[in-house]
Amino acid sequence: MSVGVLAHLFGSLPIRQLATEVSEAGFSHVQLALWKAISDVDFSEPGKLSPGLASYIGEEFAKRGVSISVLGCYLHLYDRDVERRRANLARFKELLRYARSFGCSIVAAESGTLPGGDYNEQDWKAMRHALEELAEEAERWGVFVGMEPANGHLIGTASELNQLLEEVPSPNVGVVIDPGNLLTEDNFAAQDDVIREAFDLLGDRIVAAHAKDRFLSEDGKLLTASPGYGRMNYELYLELLHRYKPYAHIVMEQATRDEMADSKQYIERIRAGYEKPITK
Write the class of the CATH domain 3-272. alpha beta
pLDDT of residue 115: 86
Give 44's pLDDT tier (boundaries 50, 70, 90): confident
Give phi and psi for 82, each to the nearest 5: -60, -40
Give the pLDDT of residue 61.
Answer: 98
- Position 177: which residue type? I
Q: How far, in Å, are 58, 102, 258 from residue 61 at the CA level?
A: 5, 10, 22
Task: Supply the pTM of this predicted model.
Answer: 0.95
Q: How confident is the model at residue 158 (pLDDT cuts 50, 70, 90)?
A: very high
Asked if pLDDT for residue 236 goes beyond 80, the answer is yes
Residue 52 has pLDDT above 50, yes or no: yes
Residue 1 has pLDDT above 90, yes or no: no
SS3 251: strand
Mean pLDDT taken over the chain: 96
Confidence of residue 212 (pLDDT cuts 50, 70, 90): very high
Q: Where are the domains of the chain?
A: 3-272
Amino acid letter, residue 35: W
